[in-house]
Amino acid sequence: MSSPVNLQEKLREHRLEYTVLCAFQDDIHSLVRLASAALLWEQDKEAFLEQHVAPVIDKLLNCLRKTYGSYHLALEKISTTAILWEILALENLFLSDIDAALHNDPATQDPLEIIVCYPGFKAIRYHRIAHIFYRHQIPLLPRMIAELAHEVTGIDIHPGAQIGSHFFIDHGTGVVIGETSIIGKSVSIYQGVTLGAKRFYRDEYGKVLKGMERHPIIGDKVTIYAGATILGRIKIGEGSSIGGNVWLTEDVPANSRVTQQRYLSTFFSDGDGI
């Protein structure tokens, strides 16, 4: 453990004023909203991104440069134009995610309902944009994008997670997808599913090692039902279904069905509950 004094000094290095933080958060919401509007509705996407999204990105990056200092390598190297091209390339992914919701959810047939009311589509929109900044090793911003989506949707996707097309999260509250997760195409995930780490690796001083591959790899066309907890660098084979509330820490071959052991059933004799 670090001493309180050291920690407090480290804290003082990078202080984000409250008003700056609020503006920063508002700008993140605007970024995702405008980028989504460009990809989903606009005819001339490029011009719209240039005109409306570029200034927001500039503002966010400048705020980070002030907080982390001008010698931060990734913040030096990144260009807003490069980011715009990467956002433009998300168009088909966004459409594929809407399509997956239409294809999998019997409760709707209205794409507007998916865009406006589906927390899963909101979370994946925020994530796909956060992931761009994560790949450029930008500090704080990717994690803040993820956490703002988490606040609103209850879905916590680490910006490092790699997620294929046609991704569908239904309901979503409590979903956690860890930093080094790799998810194939046409995967469906329900509320409360965890793709997490089983154990952490520590160095000889007991310090936890950062960035190791430690989360699951999910094959194409896998469905994971509500509340399943899947931990460690394991592989769930293509086309498998994982039942609700399962605790799973081993590989699963393709086309498997994994379910919880049958429950115990008794009857009340005295009326006093579980």
What is the x/- site pattern for its own copies, positions 155-174, by CB under 8 A? -x-x-x-----x----x-xx
* Spatial CB neighbours of 209, under 8 Å, sequence gap ≥ 6: 200, 201, 202, 203
Among 71, 204, 205, 262, binds its own copies (CB under 8 A): 262
CB of 133: closest distance to its own copies in angstroms? 13
Among 27, 96, 164, 182, binds its own copies (CB under 8 A): 96
Q: Does 103 bind its own copies (CB under 8 A)?
A: yes
Segment 57 to 76, residues that bind its own copies, using CB under 8 A: 67
Of 57 and 240, the one with the shorter C-beta distance to its own copies is 240
Sole window of 2-10, 52-60, 79-87, 127-135 interacting with its own copies (rule: CB under 8 A):
2-10
Q: Residue 253 corresponds to which tokens in the numbers above?
A: 């071959």
Among 121, 126, 168, 190, binds its own copies (CB under 8 A): 190
**HSE of 102, CA atoms in CB hemisphere, 13 A:** 12
Phi, psi of 235 (to 5 degrees): -115, 130
Q: With CB under 8 A as the rule, give the number of residues binding its own copies.
A: 113
Of 16 and 82, the one with the shorter C-beta distance to its own copies is 16
- Give the strands of the sheet with 182-183, arranged side by side: 162-163, 182-183, 217-218, 235-236
Among 78, 83, 119, 123, binds its own copies (CB under 8 A): 119
DSSP 209: P
Tell me how far CA of residue 152 lies from CA of 155, 157, 224, in angstroms. 8, 13, 22
Measured between alpha carbons, how far is 126 from 256 in angstroms, rounded to an integer?
31
Segment 37 to 56, residues that bind its own copies, using CB under 8 A: 37, 40-41
What is the x/- site pattern for its own copies, positions 214-233, by CB under 8 A? x--------x-xxxxx-x--
> How far is Cα of residue 144 from the mean position of the Cα atoms in its chain?
11
Is the CA virtual torsion 86, 88, 91, 97 positive or negative?
A: positive
